Structure 1
Amino acid sequence: MPIPGNLLSATTETIDPNTSGWTSHLNCTILPGIGGRTGGGGCLSVRSVAAGEMQARTVSSYPITSGATYYAFADTAGVVGERIGIRWMFGGIQLAITWSVPTTGSSSAWHRVSVAGVAPGGATHAQVLLSSTETAGSVSHFWENVYLGAPIRTIGNLLPFNTESTEVDATGWAPVVNASISRQVPVMGWAVDNYLAGGQTLAMTAVAAGNASILAVDRPTVTPGQEYLAYAYLQPPTVASTAWIELRYYDSNGNQIQATRSTLGPPTPATGMYRQRVSDKAPANAATCSLAAGLDGASAGQVLRLETIVITAAPELQSGTVVPYADGSFEQGVAGWTVVSGVATLARTSPWGDSYFEGSYSLAITSSTASASTVRSARFPVTEGVNWRALLLAHPDAGSWSTVGVRIRWYDAADTDLGASTGVNWGMPGSSWYALPSDAVAPAGATQAAIELVVTATATASVLHVDQVVLWEVLPQTAVEAHSDDGYITLTLREMPLDFYLSLYRVTPDGARSLVRGASGLIDMQPIVSDLLVVEDHEAPLGVPVYYLAAIRNADGTTASSRASETVTLTLADANTAWLKDPANPQRSMRVLVQRAPDWQRPIEQASFVVRGRRNKVVLSGRRQGLEGNLAIWTRSDEEREALHLLLDSGNTLLWQAAPGMGVTDMYVSVAQITESRVGALAQEQWRAWTLPLVEQDMPTTVGVNGAAGRTWQDILTEFATWQDVLTEFATWEDVFLNRRTG
């Protein structure tokens, strides 16, 4: 699929099916290449005419906004280093070029180069330049997966784009001790669809032997008590030293009040990029935060590189879990886990990526003898009288284990031990990752709970790995709610199994099934990527009881399991009104007052022939077409009138829904030229009479519900310094919601 937001055409981006989007700019010829990683497998071969720098550029110039930041990247391969640039234009005149830092080496394998810059004053268009300096003529350099557009940043990141990526410069970072800062472009391969990873990295160089560190200049605001997660890709030096990142909190006076460090486990081999995570709750007097990184025991000249640097609200390993990320993921250590009894010892797995289910590490429980040990977590807040479920994933790594018991220990507000639940003992028959749940109702007075594991080794030097530990109040797996005033039904699916596929149906009393629409179109064999799914069904019928059937499928389409919701009905209080909905943009849907329903026509293509000597003509007919007619409605205020214009402006297929018993079934329609008439002579009269010519349509199947997944006001706060910047970048509030920029 095309890169979201790319100003370049799909052909120019992927060089499939041809090279028509590219032309020679300096000392080269353009040829089609093979072996690309995107859809059709094509790539751009830029061949040198003579030794020296050669440059290719896009044929087209793309409209841009002066003063805005733009980003370009490409995947490339060749025998020399390379760089990418953005060429700023006014008409056909070149105003400036913003070049990336050249790569530190070369590779015949695909790797990423990128650059970002602010469009200079007077610039109206931009082109992408691809450059390499060959040592001879007739040498090819290869390019594909090219992007030009707005900066691509991590949704929810509290740090701005340039601090996350250093694509513009390194001004988002400052040395703390024994360090200098620069930008470098190592030869680094990324997944073809990892659009967050660029080519330019933040490079910290140790000035002298000893500890060295740097710190992000930005101080994003935080909420006391909220848990935050910071992470970055680290490329440590190959010579021994300890690389780390640190999440720091500051009070309103700028004083550092807390620092939580996470050390990179020694990777093997230490040549790539390794994502390291750190998390902690903001203390009560926290106002801002930042991220530090460094090397302990560095040698003079050692370099630590960072890429995709993020601070964000910590994710839930399970929807509703009360276990903090650090205690459930073990990314920075064993957190609050301790050995209560027995010979077991606890540690974070090593090296980096050796054994994990989530993140890069897990908890390693080692028993030196064949015996039982009890391991307990820290305490987490709970509510008495409700059912709680503890769940963890366990993997026997060495030796053998007979059972792993999972139970919940309860405490009151005074930290008094109220006893443990009965728990469940699980056998460990092999070496896979096993999900081990245990349910219990919190007793009266319970305000805290800890998760206890009773692990029984049956051999010396046995090792058990544990990851993704969660504890949550068990809510209904499937819940449904009708919102009749707003014309839609909300379906909530909890505890969904990851790595399966979902097909979601709406079922009416006659047994008919209809697929429900999601962000990517109708939900049919959609990958399950979260344990929680909330769907708003804006196409549910009015006055008809419906329920929802979730079919959870294997990759081959066979059904692994299924679940059904309760029955629910949408109502329409006023039979004189009807809904007009845009399935792709439900925020535009509106209820209108009906003046008169259409008098339907059903056109048909016919050709008639007069046969000499016969009384009757011979008529050849096509198939009779769908309904066509004029719907007459009123709007009763200027707000309704503007809302109807917004609904109709796109020309999208709409859904018309009338009250049951009005002789009209739900119908997808296109609307032709509309007529808006005044209903009185007074200029101040706000009522309008509308005539909407409708043509029946098939239900759109590939249209998804527009939105910006995960986007919050925090993203607006991070990206824009003033409200004027927001007004400049977006035409409407809907554009803010959808992240649809004018540039």
Structure 2
Amino acid sequence: MAIPGNLLSATTESIDPNTSGWTPKANCTITKGSGGRNGDGCLSVKATAAGEIQVRTVASYPVTAGTVYYTFADTAGTVAERIGIRWLTAAGVEVSITWSLTTLAASSSWHRVSVSGPAPAGATQAQVVLSSTETAAGALHYWENIYLGLPIRTVGNLLDWNTESAETDASGWQVEANASIARQVPVTTWTVSWYYAGGHTIAATAAAAGDMSVVTVARPSVTAGTDYVAYAYLQPPTSSSTAWIELRFYDATGTMLQATRAPLAAPGTGFYRQIVSDIAPAGAVSCAVAAGVTGATAGQVLRFETTAVTVAPKIVAGSVLPYAAGSFERGIAGWTVPSGVATRVRSTPWGAVSYMGSYSMTVTSSTASTSTLRSPRVQVPNAAGLNWRAQITALAGAGSWSNVTVRVHWYSAAGADLGTSAGHGAALPAAGWYRINADQVAPAGATQAEMEIVATAAAAGSVMNLDGLALWQVLPLTAVEAVTASGYARVTLRELTVDNLMTVYRVQQDGTRTLIRGANGLIDRDPIITDIMVIEDHEAPLTEPVYYRIEQYTPSGTLSTTRISDPVTVGLDDPNLAWLKDPGNPQRNCLVMIETAPQWTAPIEQARHKVRGRQNAVVLSDSRGGLEGDLSLWTRSDEERRALRQLLGPGNTLLWQTHPGMGEEPSMYVNVGQAGLARAGGDADDPWRQWTLPLVEADMPVEVGVSGAKGRTWRDVLTEFPTWDAVRSTYASWEAVFLDRR
């Protein structure tokens, strides 16, 4: 699979089907090997003699001085290795090479090396250089899954790239207690398609016996009352070490208001993602992330990488439970046992038992009896009279549970007890994770709530694990609305099953089904990555009611569920107007005024042969082509003229949509030839223009996906660029900012 944003070609990246993207730079020959990860091919590099061997990309790739670029590769061999970015002038003269550190050890298993750095002054091009120092002629080293491009950041991360990755240097971190900081490249194998982790790690070494900690230099801004999550991949010194990550909040004076710690219950000495979350307290304006080891031995090393702070995700869209109280990544997060003998702790070790994340809440009943577990109290403003759903995911770990009931306890703004809903109960089967939920209407005056789980253990010593807990206002599973002003239909899908596959059809009055477009092209068995999805259908027909059919499939491809939406009609009130749309870039769509509809022709390729002595010629014909004709339209302002030029500029296949009866077809995909735009006459400053667009009917583009921000927000722009001048000098337009096209 091609790495998103890679400047390297697919062949250069994956070494499939050949090695044409690479050439020896020093002391080696290259061939195509097998057993790769990103396709079967890999780059096999053979030493000509003992000593350093280097290969580089054949091509040079354009770069901008001062911009940070990133390269990584997966590699394997009998010696340690490094990777570099070779910077070149426009004339191809080497300026310098930014090298990674050399890996701490050699490994014949695939592992990752990487580095990032700013392009130096004078550099206009870059190459990737792969290096290892072999001990003898004929020694082999292997490379695969190679990337060069802009940093691949965690979307929404409040920390800058270098603090997140340590791929440039260690300056994003500072010593807090009893430690020194350096960078190291341990031998680490990451999943081939996991692009957020590289080779460099921060290595915090204990200076003496005792507690050791380091903290980020950056103090990104936060909003009081917002739930945040921080995480990092930690490699503890030993499996018994008490390594931890901490999320801290500060006020305007820099005084720490709150510190929430999540210890890692490590099952070994690999890298484990440890998550911590909490709500920013009143007065909080900034945050930081700290990491450390409690009771470290002198010389012990804690390594970590891919550090991030983001707004906490919702376990279910709209859930009012804090992330910590539904995921248990840092502990039991305020859950209590108001009645019964059950005890509750975070599961251990990391990854042993969980439905989401790496931990769950382990509930143990010492007797065959009933216990009640209660969540921390949360705010549910304007809840009265609305339907709410409480949901848990439970696993019977030992013994048996004859009844597990989920319900909600309601309170007024003053804290008065408004009673508990009836809830819904079910016996918990002996194996596997099961979801139990209950819908209930909030009583009058309810503004606060606690989720309650009433569990009856059928045997002493019964154990139950809970994870993925949520409480949210129930909204329609499928909702549609017409956004007539922008010419599209909006489809909102809720409570989707993550990791399933999904197909979405638009169904017209005559029963015609058409796949609708998503980020990767037509949505046809696309993986579901979130439980809520909003789809904008900019190709919906105008003034005609349509509905949407949603099919969900299991990962193996078996149809599991279907949904049908209500009908929706996208309007177009003025028949003199029409839409010209770019299916892959709906932000460029234009509403234009038609002067004259095309006088269509249906061309055909023919060869006419007059046979001597015969009256009629012999005509050989190809099939008749699509319609062709000239569309004449007006732009009425400078803004409309610029917008239409932007739409036509890339030469993409467009969708022309008219009011029914005003064209040969109300919707038609077209290619536009040489466009003419003449002044409409009158004064020289008259903004009106008369456009003539030669149209050729085209097929619906199938592979084109809808361009978008891919989850980026203004906060990401703020994190990546120190000033607006830096943004302006990096991007040519606001659309380029939106699409992150530098």
TM-score normalized with structure 2 length: 0.98
Aligned to 2:385: 385
Letter in 2 for 1:729: T
Residue by residue over 1:198-238, the C-alpha shift from the partner in whole angstroms, topping out at 9 and shown as x without a partner, is 00001100010000000000010111111110000000012
**Greater alpha carbon shift after TM alignment, 23-32 vs 533-542:** 23-32
Letter in 2 for 1:721: P
Assess if the C-alpha contact under 8 Å between 1:247 and 1:278 holds in 2: yes
Distance (whole Å) between structure 2 residues aligned to residue 182 and residue 341 of structure 1: 51
SS at 1:485 equivalent: helix
Aligned to 1:338: 336
Alignment of 1:128-167 (within 5 A): 128-167=128-167
Letter in 1 for 2:75: T
Match of 1:294 among 292, 295, 299: 292
Aligned to 2:370: 372
SS at 1:327 equivalent: helix
Alignment of 1:301-320 (within 5 A): 301-320=299-318
Aligned to 2:522: 522
Aligned to 1:715: 716
Distance (whole Å) between structure 2 residues aligned to residue 507 and residue 7 of structure 1: 39
Aligned to 2:398: 398
Residue by residue over 1:418-470, the C-alpha shift from the partner in whole angstroms, topping out at 9 and shown as x without a partner, is 21111111111221100000111111111111111111112221110000100
Letter in 2 for 1:299: T
Distance (whole Å) between structure 2 residues aligned to residue 11 and residue 512 of structure 1: 40
Assess if the C-alpha contact under 8 Å between 1:658 and 1:664 holds in 2: no
Aligned to 1:694: 695
**Runs (4+) of structure 1 moved beyond 4 Å?**
none
Letter in 1 for 2:140: S
Aligned to 2:502: 502
Assess if the C-alpha contact under 8 Å between 2:597 and 2:662 holds in 1: no
Residue by residue over 1:130-167, the C-alpha shift from the partner in whole angstroms, topping out at 9 and shown as x without a partner, is 11111111000000111111111111000000000000
Give the superposition deviation at 1:527.
Answer: 1.4
Distance (whole Å) between structure 2 residues aligned to residue 555 and residue 318 of structure 1: 20
Alignment of 1:419-430 (within 5 A): 419-430=419-430
Aligned to 1:724: 725
1:416 matched to 2:416:
yes
Give the superposition deviation at 1:681.
Answer: 4.7
- Number of equivalenced pairs: 738
Give the superposition deviation at 1:620.
Answer: 1.1
SS at 1:297 equivalent: strand
SS at 2:641 equivalent: helix
Assess if the C-alpha contact under 8 Å between 1:596 and 1:631 holds in 2: yes
Identity of aligned residues (%): 60
Give the superposition deviation at 1:96.
Answer: 1.0
Assess if the C-alpha contact under 8 Å between 2:83 and 2:100 holds in 1: yes
Give the superposition deviation at 1:380.
Answer: 1.4
Assess if the C-alpha contact under 8 Å between 2:597 and 2:663 holds in 1: no
Aligned to 2:540: 540
Distance (whole Å) between structure 2 residues aligned to residue 8 and residue 364 of structure 1: 48
Distance (whole Å) between structure 2 residues aligned to residue 475 and residue 124 of structure 1: 53
Alignment of 1:213-292 (within 5 A): 213-238=213-238, 240-265=240-265, 267-268=266-267, 270-292=268-290
Aligned to 2:76: 77
Distance (whole Å) between structure 2 residues aligned to residue 482 and residue 10 of structure 1: 40
Alignment of 1:444-593 (within 5 A): 444-593=444-593
SS at 1:221 equivalent: coil
Give the superposition deviation at 1:707.
Answer: 0.8
Letter in 1 for 2:285: A
Letter in 1 for 2:279: K
Letter in 1 for 2:462: S
Distance (whole Å) between structure 2 residues aligned to residue 513 and residue 323 of structure 1: 40
SS at 2:485 equivalent: coil
Distance (whole Å) between structure 1 residues aligned to residue 377 and residue 238 of structure 2: 40
Assess if the C-alpha contact under 8 Å between 2:669 and 2:698 holds in 1: yes
Aligned to 1:193: 193
Residue by residue over 1:490-513, the C-alpha shift from the partner in whole angstroms, topping out at 9 and shown as x without a partner, is 011111122321111111111111
Assess if the C-alpha contact under 8 Å between 1:480 and 1:490 holds in 2: yes
Assess if the C-alpha contact under 8 Å between 2:239 and 2:269 holds in 1: no
SS at 1:468 equivalent: strand
Aligned to 2:43: 44
Assess if the C-alpha contact under 8 Å between 2:410 and 2:442 holds in 1: yes
SS at 1:629 equivalent: strand
Letter in 1 for 2:720: E
Provide structure 2 residue ranges, at least 5 long, that are not aligned to the other structure.
Answer: none
Aligned to 1:617: 617
Assess if the C-alpha contact under 8 Å between 2:86 and 2:128 holds in 1: yes
Aligned to 1:672: 673
Letter in 1 for 2:293: L
Give the superposition deviation at 1:239.
Answer: 6.2
Residue by residue over 1:157-198, the C-alpha shift from the partner in whole angstroms, topping out at 9 and shown as x without a partner, is 000000000000000000000010000000000011111110
Assess if the C-alpha contact under 8 Å between 1:210 and 1:299 holds in 2: yes
Give the superposition deviation at 1:663.
Answer: 3.9
Letter in 1 for 2:287: C
**Greater alpha carbon shift after TM alignment, 678-687 vs 489-498:** 678-687
* Shift in alpha-carbon separation, 1:63–1:674, aligned structure 2, 3 A: same
**Greater alpha carbon shift after TM alignment, 550-559 vs 226-235:** 550-559
Aligned to 1:7: 7
Distance (whole Å) between structure 2 residues aligned to residue 567 and residue 13 of structure 1: 46
Letter in 2 for 1:676: L
**Greater alpha carbon shift after TM alignment, 550-559 vs 303-312:** 550-559
Assess if the C-alpha contact under 8 Å between 1:52 and 1:134 holds in 2: yes
Distance (whole Å) between structure 1 residues aligned to residue 561 and residue 431 of structure 2: 25
Distance (whole Å) between structure 2 residues aligned to residue 125 and residue 543 of structure 1: 52
Provide structure 1 residue ranges, at least 5 long, that are not aligned to the other structure.
Answer: none
* Shift in alpha-carbon separation, 1:677–1:136, aligned structure 2, 3 A: same
Distance (whole Å) between structure 2 residues aligned to residue 346 and residue 555 of structure 1: 34
Give the superposition deviation at 1:559.
Answer: 2.5
Aligned to 1:103: 103
SS at 1:308 equivalent: strand
